[in-house]
Amino acid sequence: MTPHRGLCISGSPKPTRSTGAARCGTWVRALFSKGVEATAIELKDALRSGDGRADLRAGFLSADIAVLAFPIQVDTVPALVVEGLEEVFAATARRSPPARLFAVVNSGFHEAWHCGVAVDVCRHFAEACKLDRAGSLSIAMGGIIDGDPVETCRLAKGVLQGISLAADDLAAGKAVRERAVQLAERPMIPLWLYTLVVTLDMHSSLVRRGTWWRRQPAPSPAVPPDAAAGAPRRPGALVSGEKHSRRACCWNRAQGRKFGYPLPGCWRCSGRTRGWP
Amino acid sequence: MKATVRSGLVWGTEDEARVSRELVDRLGQQGYAPEQVDLVGIKPGDCRACFGCWNVTPGECCRRDTAGKLAGKAAGADLIVLLASVRFGSFSAPVEKVGRSTSTRRRVPP
């Protein structure tokens, strides 16, 4: 069946500079160029009011193809998307003929396979609602796009080609070809470069905000020589070999006092006997 | 020993209520003092992926609402139990928002 009406749903909870919303815009333009009349809905706005929810249900019922674009949170769909899916669940189950569902999952990690669980959730949703699954695209390194339109990002040419090919197939009523999926999944830059850029960006952000000294040290696998064999390590305690930051330790203990629970500082500041049971 | 039971059971069925009661009873028998938190009633806000918990207020969510306070309570507990309805293979929305794991969105930075 050749679709005539498309609905692009952005499931990103970010208020500004959302990569998911940017991709939604790209999808609308791509589907428009293939002759599908597409509209975009942002879940974070639609779920705020009864009218918005009604528009979302009506949009889903009238669309022939639904593109759901969202980022992963804790390796799965965000809570906002779960709410949106629940909202349309009952409405779409009555629809005949069924619409097609296409998922575009975005991850900030280097590898696209992190999106696997979220793609499976969309598959379960499609089965529960008796929708046709048109496939999915998993896109990694979302931080490179960072809310800008995908067409303007020079590094995202592969992603744009994948979206274009997928829109071609969706507009023709066919299953999305494997080549589109491969183009979208391909890393935009090497892993070492992405890791370097993200780390530098995070540290510069900490320095700009004056919170660099509050960052927590990375845990070290080394065990202090005075720890009893087999003694469990108390959470938050540093081990020998870690870079000790007195300020971070004092901040740790101040946070503990603020929340009203005992949060140990490191064994250097609080004494060896208190850092370990 | 402190335990916090965070309930994200959204369907409100008799089975869910029975599971919740049974769990609290068993925890009491094991020597825990369970504190029940109904995540559905609290209506926590979404994580906005602003990375404020990394950059602005490291270790705590910069949004001062109930969900942020719940994170502090979890850190003082010996046992955290998350009760969640499964929706399309995923956790229910209230549990997703507040407390899925130690690396939950609105709790602490990695």
DSSP string, B53-105: HHHTSTTS-SS-SHHHHHHHHHHT-SEEEEEE-EETTEE-HHHHHH-SSTT-T
Domain boundaries defined on chain A = 5-191, 216-275
pLDDT score of A221 more than 70: no
Contact assignment for B49 to A73 by CB distance below 8 Å: yes
State whether residue B102 sits within 8 Å of chain A by CB: no
Please give, rounded to a whole number of angstroms, the shortest distance from the CA of B46 to a CA of chain A.
Answer: 7
Instruction: Please report how many Cα atoms fall inside a 13 Å half-sphere around the Cα of residue B47, on the Cβ side.
Output: 30
Give tens-digit pLDDT for A154-212. Answer: 888 888 888 889 888 888 888 888 898 888 888 888 888 888 888 888 888 888 888 77
The answer, for A120 touching chain B at a CB cutoff of 8 Å, is yes
* A-B Cβ pairs (cutoff 8 Å, strict): 94
Residue A150: is its pLDDT beyond 70? Answer: yes
Would the pLDDT of A149 be above 80? no
Task: Name the pLDDT band for A271 (thresholds 50, 70, 90).
Answer: very low
- What is the pLDDT at residue A119? 92
A contacts of B57 (beta carbons < 8 Å): 211
At residue A274, the pLDDT reads: 38
Q: Which of A74, A120, A206 sits opposite B101 (nearest CB)?
A: A74
Q: Tell me the pLDDT tens digit for each residue of B11-21.
A: 778 888 898 88
**Cα gap A168→A166, rounded to integer Å:** 5
Q: Interhelix angle for A246-259 vs B66-75, to 10°?
A: 110
pLDDT computed for residue A197 by the predictor = 86
Residue B105 included in any domain: no
Contact B100 A74 (CB under 8 A): yes
Choice between B54 and A108, residue whose per-residue pLDDT is larger: A108
Report yes or no on B103 lying in a domain: no
Using the structure block, give the residue that is written with the tokens 């349309």.
A88
For residues A39 and A179, the answer to whether their CB atoms sit within 8 Å is no
Task: State how far the alpha carbon of A200 is from the alpha carbons of A141, A193, A194, A197, in Å.
Answer: 15, 11, 10, 5
Is A83 in contact with B59 (Cβ distance < 8 A)? no
Give the minimum alpha-carbon distance from B24 to chain A in angstroms, rounded to a whole number.
Answer: 23
Burial A209-228 (b: 16+ CB within 10 A, else e): eebeebbbeeeeeeebeebe
pLDDT at residue A123, rounded to an integer: 92
> Is B107 a member of any domain?
no
Is the pLDDT at A48 greater than 80, yes or no? yes
Asked if residue B68 is part of any domain, the answer here is yes
- Determine the pLDDT at residue A196: 87
Mean per-residue pLDDT over chain A, rounded: 76
Chain B residues with CB under 8 Å of A258 CB are 72
Residue A244 pLDDT class (50, 70, 90 cuts): low
Do the domain assignments include residue B110? no
Task: Examine residue B64 and state whether it is found in any structural domain, yes or no.
Answer: yes
pLDDT for position A230: 53
- Tokens read off for A145: 């796009």
- Percentage of the residues of chain A whose pLDDT score is greater than 90: 5
* Domain interval for residue B54: 2-98
- Is the model more confident about A251 or about A206? A206
Q: Is B60 on the interface with A (CB under 8 A)?
A: yes
Q: Does B85 touch chain A (CB under 8 A)?
A: no
pLDDT at B99: 53
* pLDDT for residue A73: 84
What's the confidence (pLDDT) of residue A29? 78
Chain A residues whose beta carbon lies within 8 Å of the beta carbon of residue B104:
74
The tally of domains found in chain B comes to 1
Residue A272 pLDDT grade (very low, low, confident, very high; cuts 50, 70, 90): very low
Higher confidence at residue A44 or residue A150? A44
* Token code pair at residue A65: 């193809």
Q: Please give the residue of chain A at the shortest CA–CA distance from B95.
A: A79
Q: What are phi and psi of A130, to 5 degrees?
A: 60, 40
Tens-place pLDDT, residues B21-41: 899 999 999 888 888 888 887
Average confidence (pLDDT) over A91-100: 71
Token duo for residue B79: 């046992």
| B59 is a domain residue | yes
Cβ–Cβ of A260/B76 closer than 8 Å?
A: yes
Q: What is the pLDDT of residues B58-100, one digit of tens each?
A: 766 777 777 666 766 666 778 888 888 888 888 888 877 775 4
A5-191 belongs to CATH 3.40.50.360: yes
What's the CA gap between B40 and B58, in Å, rounded? 27
In the predicted model, is pLDDT for residue A89 greater than 80?
yes
Instruction: Give the pLDDT of residue A122.
Output: 92
pTM: 0.75
